[in-house]
Amino acid sequence: MKEAKKENYTWIVDPLDGTTNFIHSIPCYSISIALMRDDELIMGVVYEINLRECFYAREGSGAYLNGKEIHVSSIKKLNDSLLVTGFPYQDYSRLDAYLDLFKYFMEYSHGVRRFGSAAVDLAYVACGRCEGFYEYGLNPWDVAGGAFIVRQAGGVVNDFNGGDDFIFGKEIIAGGSAVFEEFLEVVRKYLG
């Protein structure tokens, strides 16, 4: 008799991503949920509470916002891109390079925003509101759900060197596929 392969499932949940915003009554925080089978993400949900926006995707499907299919932006140039980031809370070892990169993007993009919830940042990339997101010092529960949604919406998600260690590697870059290579090249120059 052939033995069935045992699959391991792991839920990655952040019941409140954007805690500081919540504490200060700033209306940008979310619930983030992801499901992994073995080492592979297979489902993601980000619920932006104040706007009542539910972003979600599952293995083999597209990505959705409140029932309507979403896609990453088709903008091709970094100069025309709106970017989003966050600031580290504890690890300041790369802060100088991070601020230099922030300055570069302020000069050579359409702007940089900081909303305060990495899960929301990723969801906004997935639906094309922003062309790219980057941050370091994050935990798996901050990024897993949103990262999966970005990929299902046609985007690219990597670590700062272009690898796949973005869930547990504490650094992430995500963006629309049309602008991603240029975006990654700049991030890698400063933080790779």
* First-residue to last-residue Cα distance in the chain: 49
Which residue spans within 6-95 are E strands per DSSP? 9-17, 30-37, 40-48, 53-58, 63-65, 68-70, 82-85
Identify the band that residue 5 occupies on the pLDDT scale cut at 50, 70 and 90: low
Token code pair at residue 167: 């869930």
The most distant pair of C-alpha atoms in the chain lies apart, rounded to whole Å, by 64
- Residue 92 pLDDT greater than 80, yes or no: yes
86 contacts: CB under 8 Å, gap ≥ 6: 114, 115, 116, 118, 121, 135, 138
Dump pLDDT digits (tens) for 125-142. Answer: 999 999 999 999 999 999
User: What's the CA gap between 30 and 77, in Å, rounded?
Assistant: 29
The residues spanned by each domain of the chain are 1-192
Give the predicted TM-score (pTM) of the model. 0.94
CATH architecture of 1-192: 3-Layer(aba) Sandwich (3.40)
Report the chain's mean pLDDT, rounded to a whole number. Answer: 95
pLDDT exceeds 60 at position 1: no
pLDDT higher than 90, residue 6:
no
Q: Which pLDDT tens digit goes with each residue over 40-81?
A: 999 999 999 999 999 999 999 999 999 999 999 999 999 999
